[in-house]
Amino acid sequence: MNPVDIQSALHPAGPQAAHIAWLWWLMLSVCAAVFVIVLAAMGVAVYRGRHHTGPPADEAAMRRAVSLATGATVVILIALLFASVWTGRAIAALGSPTPLDVEVTAAQWWWQVEYAAPQPSNRVTTANEIHLPIGRVVRVLLKSTDVIHSFWIPNLHGKVDLIPGRGNVIWLRADTAGTYRGQCAEFCGIQHAHMALTVIVEPEPQFEAWLVKERRAAEAPQTPEQQRGRDLVAHGSCALCHSVQGDGPSAHLGPDLTHFASRPTIAAGELENTPENLAAWLADPQRIKVGSRMPATGLRGDDLQAVVAYLEQLK
Amino acid sequence: MRRLWLVSVAAALIAVSCEREARRYRDQPQAAVPPDGVRLTTLRPGGGNDIAVSREAPFSDNAQAMAEGKRLYSAFNCNGCHAMGGGSIGPPLMDDQWIYGDAPDQIYSTIVQGRPDGMPSFGGKIPDQQVWELVAYVRSMSGLAPFDVKPGRNDDIGARPSEARTPATGPRQTGHR
């Protein structure tokens, strides 16, 4: 897939985005046709006016022409209105008695994604990535902890706002496997443009395997360096905001780090998740994402290496 | 002449207001503990002059830092003991009683070192920059922050009014100790 198509309403990967794309193409083609016809008619009128020699035009004929144009305009606008209403109804018709429940909580400037489960210990919490099984109806509950954000995965659906103190719901279905990009679509502060969400649509068995893996506690550190990194994370300043399920810290202000290394990006789509980028991010987050809630950790040298080594083995 | 005067007044105002609204994300203030330690009292054996307590602190003139401090006050669960300033398990912060001093460096030390009877030591946990932001906010709770520094609005959608909408001097009442 072309890289720009991973965030494009014109490359639908689900039924609702397909309806929206259909409405877009319909409106574009009808309006383009009207535009071309109007310009052509005007060109003809200018040309004929220049070369006109006979008697002035018949009053009745002009009245007929104006009535025809007005009538056509009204009919086209009403037709487009019906198409729009029909699209809205088609989008809203998606539902299921047994949907997959996902809870997305927006914060400045990242996304928390939780998969509901009857048993609390089976809940899965991750950040800035949302995995969806192909063909399954998903009910996404949208919340915000600070200001108004907007949830937008153009390849799957339109936008819905996330409002503090209120739960909004969006229904989705993804039919085409692939990796897409979601984006906050309501200005929410200095890093609004850098608040991205990686959407991974995969076959049901792969999705289930991912869920099972995510439910596990964090990988235990293997090497002495990783062990040192674990101690720094658990007893240093990381512990006030982040959590690592298992034997790590358990604060919930920042992204959950339990399976950090399996995520594609760092800092909500800002950086590719590589050890080099992680070290740069930890050393000076405010250089990479100015205003981010992540303060400078003050980690240097061996300490920084140890924390990177620990986080990068949290598969 | 009159125009020159107006321009210089405007320039001076801009220079002053910049500091209030400056967003100093990358400042790394040092742990401002003087070599002989932070003094918690002005009493000295044998009498003599009062020891001057430092009143200078990073972020004491910055509205955004104060707003950040307000966010961190709940985020780091200060309100778990001090409530929203009225105190519960811990002493109130919105009155004029200060067990360990009201100077910025004294509050800084209280947060970083911890205090007997329940105040944990946050040293090594909260980065210095955020401790100073908390100091700025805690001082504002009892009316110690200058009015022209207080944020005019909250950064988030919140139920509590901003600092500038609360009285210039905090309620004066006697703490429970």
Whether A7 and A29 map to the same domain: the answer is yes
β-pair type (A110-115, A196-202): unpaired
Q: What is the per-residue pLDDT across A109-127, written as a single tens digit (0 to 9) for each?
A: 999 999 998 888 899 999 9
Nearest to B127 among A147, A290, A295 (CB): A295
Task: Say what percent of chain A tops pLDDT 70.
Answer: 100
Q: Which of A20-34, A217-231, B95-109 has the lowest mean pLDDT?
A: B95-109
**pLDDT score, position A1:** 67
Predicted confidence (pLDDT) per residue in A234-268, tens digit? 998 899 999 999 878 888 899 999 999 999 999 99
Q: Report the distance separating Cα A149 and Cα A104, nearest Å.
A: 11
Please give the residue of chain A at the shortest CA–CA distance from B77: A240
Interface of B with A in 144-173 (CB under 8 A): 155-157
- Does residue A228 share a domain with residue A198? no
- A211, A233: one domain: no
| pLDDT at residue A70, as a whole number | 95
Judged against a pLDDT cut of 70, whether residue A179 lies above it is answered with yes
- Considering the domain architecture, whether residues A185 and A239 belong to the same structural domain is answered as no
Q: What is the mean pLDDT of chain B?
A: 78
User: Where does the pLDDT of residue A176 fall: very low under 50, low under 70, confident under 90, or very high at 90 and above?
Assistant: very high
Mean pLDDT, chain A, whole residue set: 92
Q: Which candidate, A271, A237, B146, places its Cα nearest to that of A263?
A: A271
Which amino acid appears at position A217 of this protein?
Answer: A
Q: Which of A127, A114, A79 is nearest to A257 (CA)?
A: A127
pLDDT band for A155, please (50, 70, 90 cuts): very high
Based on the domain organization, do A242 and A271 belong to the same domain?
yes
pLDDT per position as a tens digit, A70-104: 999 999 999 999 999 999 999 999 888 999 999 99
Predicted pLDDT of residue B40: 72
Q: Residue B15: pLDDT band by 50, 70, 90 thresholds? A: low
How far is A236 from chain B, CA to nearest CA, in Å?
A: 5
Q: Which pairs with CB-CB distance under 8 Å and at least 24 residues apart come from A17-22?
A: A17/A154, A17/A155, A17/A156, A17/A157, A19/A87, A19/A90, A19/A91, A20/A87, A20/A91, A20/A157, A20/A158, A22/A87
Is B25 near chain A, with CB under 8 Å?
yes
> Which residues of chain B does A233 touch, with a Cβ-Cβ cutoff of 8 Å?
none
Query: ∠B3-B7-B9 over CA atoms, to 5°?
Result: 115
Chain A positions touching B26 (Cβ under 8 A) are: 284, 286-287, 296
- CA dihedral sign, ordered A233, A236, A241, A247: positive
Q: What whole-number distance in Å separates Cα of residue B152 and Cα of residue B165?
A: 7
The range of the structural domain enclosing residue A229 comes to 224-311
What distance in Å separates residue A32's CA from the closest CA in chain B?
Answer: 43
Alpha helices in B36-75, H assignment, sequence order: 63-75
For residue B72, give how far its alpha carbon lies from the nearest alpha carbon of chain A (Å): 10
Sequence spans of domains, chain B = 61-169
Same domain, A265 and A302: yes
Q: Do B25 and A291 touch (CB under 8 A)?
A: yes
Under 8 Å between Cβ of B81 and B88:
yes
A300 in B contact zone (CB under 8 Å): no
Higher-confidence position of B147 and A46: A46
In CATH, what number is assigned to the domain containing residue A136?
Answer: 2.60.40.420
User: Do residues A265 and A293 share a domain?
Assistant: yes
Give percent of chain B with pLDDT exceeding 70: 71
Same domain flag for A123 and A209: yes
> Rounded mean pLDDT of B11-22?
70
Confidence at residue B177, expressed as pLDDT on a 0 to 100 scale: 42
Cα separation, A302 vs A114, in Å, equals: 34
Query: A128-150: per-residue pLDDT in tens?
Result: 999 999 999 999 999 999 899 99
From chain B, the residues in CB contact with A148 under 8 A are 157
Chain A residues 270-289 within an 8 A CB cutoff of chain B: 284, 286-287
Q: What number does CATH give the domain B61-169?
A: 1.10.760.10
- A179 membership: H or E segment, kind and range: strand A178-184
Q: How many helices (H) and strands (E) are present in chain B, helices listed first?
A: 5, 0
Residue B30 scores a pLDDT above 70: no
Tell me whether B127 touches chain A (CB under 8 Å). Answer: yes
The answer to whether the Cα torsion of A232, A234, A236, A237 is positive or negative is: positive
Decide which of B2 and A159 is more confident.
A159
- Residues A106 and A209 placed together within one structural domain of the fold: yes
Tell whether B5 is within 8 A of chain A (Cβ).
no
Give per-residue pLDDT as tens, A186-197: 999 999 999 999
How many whole angstroms separate alpha carbon B34 and alpha carbon B56? 12
Cα–Cα distance, B120 to A102 (Å, whole number): 37
Average pLDDT over residues A7-33: 95
Cis ω for the linkage preceding A109 (within 30 of 0) = yes
- The answer for residues whose C-beta is within 8 angstroms of residue A35's C-beta and 6 or more apart is none
Round to whole Å and give the CA distance between B66 and A178.
44
136-175 in chain A: CB under 8 A from chain B: 146-148, 164-165
- Distance in Å, alpha carbon of A95 to nearest chain B alpha carbon: 32
What residues of B are in contact with residue A190 (Cβ under 8 Å)?
23
The domain total for chain A is 3
For the question of an ipTM over 0.95, the answer is: no
- Chain A residue with the nearest C-alpha to that of B64: A291
Angstrom distances, CA of residue A231 to CA of A218, A259, A295: 14, 17, 19
pLDDT digits (tens, 9 = 90+) for B106-160: 899 999 999 998 899 998 889 888 999 999 999 988 888 888 888 877 777 665 6
Identify the band that residue B7 occupies on the pLDDT scale cut at 50, 70 and 90: confident
